[in-house]
Amino acid sequence: MMDLDFLERLIKALDESSVDSLEIERGGTRVSLAKTPRQTTMVAPQAPLQPMAAAPPTSPDASAEGAAPAAAPPHVSSNLVDIESPMVGTFYRGPAPDAPPYIDTGTDVALGDTLCIIEAMKLMNEFECEVRGTIVEICVENAQPVEYGQVLFRVDPA
């Protein structure tokens, strides 16, 4: 159980810092604080990307003369699953700076495989995979700060 004084100090510390949000668990109670409202993100499979038709110019000055033709969008599987950050922290691809990353693009992953480490409040939290499949995209650079709900990986489920 968190006392009111502790919560007030957390709010003051967040307000005076450059951190946008904070999540803490203590004594079985979890508290999330954020300066800006969070956007809800679904972790369901995504719909396939469809190319958009070019809109007609709205004015004579908006003509597309001389514009290069748009490249065709790359093929994207319609059943990719986004794996999101469960907390605010710093993203690390491997267990140490000189160690190889846990996974790379194209790596087959199983339930429970370690994907990365997220450092939060000087604690190194190993983040395990919750879906079986193949890593299609790593969306974050090593040692980059991440937000709660930010997409870290895209997986093509098996």
State the 10-residue block means of pLDDT for the chain, 158 residues long: 72 76 72 62 44 48 46 56 94 93 96 94 92 96 95 93
- Three-state SS string over 5-61 comes to HHHHHHHHHHHHCCCCEEEEEECCEEEEEECCCCCCCCCCCCCCCCCCCCCCCCCHH
Do 82 and 153 reside in the same domain of the chain? yes
Do 82 and 135 reside in the same domain of the chain? yes
What is the number of structural domains in the chain? 2
Do 24 and 96 reside in the same domain of the chain? no
Q: 0.85 cut: is pTM over it?
A: no
Identify the CATH number of the domain in which residue 148 sits.
2.40.50.100
- Any domain includes 112: yes
> What per-residue confidence (pLDDT) applies to 5?
75
Domain region containing 137: 77-157
- Any domain includes 143: yes
Do 85 and 141 reside in the same domain of the chain? yes
Q: Report the chain's terminal Cα–Cα distance, integer Å.
A: 41
Residues 6 or more apart whose Cβ sits within 8 Å of residue 22: 10, 14, 32, 33, 34, 88
- Any domain includes 57: no
- Any domain includes 91: yes
d(CA 1, CA 61): 64
- Any domain includes 13: yes
- Any domain includes 95: yes
